[in-house]
Structure 1
Amino acid sequence: MRALRPFITGVATAALAFILGPEIRRKMKPALEKGIEKGKERIAKIRIGNDDEVGEEYSTAEQRYEREIVKLKEENKAYLEEIRDLKNLVNKLFDEIASLKGKS
């Protein structure tokens, strides 16, 4: 009997859930829908109140982004110029080495 007690308890719980589940859902559905509507209204109020602030934050973020892009482009140009100078120097060194090999 003791070995069957957990099994019987589980079967009884499953039967009660099966029988009472739809009724509980029907009773809880209006409260759930009401909560969802309240949540939607609160979010709408928050959005309406913060639209101006969010717009300003977005524009300043966009300006920072643009400044960063300009800065990165300038750095890129400087690095490319340095690379060109180094390539020219390497080419001159190769030419000088080739001319020294030709003289020997």
Structure 2
Amino acid sequence: MTPEALNTFFSICIGFALAGALANGYQALSQRPAGFGLLQEGVAPKTFAAVPFLVFAAPFIIMRNTLRGMRLESRRFEFVMMATVIACFWSMMSGTFFLMTLRATGVIG
């Protein structure tokens, strides 16, 4: 496995772990699952605060909604695969950003 492939895999894992931690933390505090409906609460500071949260929690929310839809609505395999690819790419981008932030602040070397 090349170093670039290992770095990409690590970024995807970190992105999903961060997304899961954020979404589960939100659910523990608010007693309801996080979702994209947070953006539909009108123009309010709470809505603007939801944007950065959803940027990093989106891979978990996408996969949770996709797997739930697959069980309840019998969604087609192609739709599930497309949603998985989107969630993995999003997770890779957020994981890369998170790792770059940790490196820039000196937390990791």
User: What's the TM-score, normalizing by structure 2?
Assistant: 0.29
Q: Which has the higher helix share?
A: 1
Identify the structure with bigger relative contact order (alpha carbons < 8 Å, sequence gap 6+): 2
Q: Which has the larger radius of gyration?
A: 1
User: What's the TM-score, normalizing by structure 1?
Assistant: 0.31
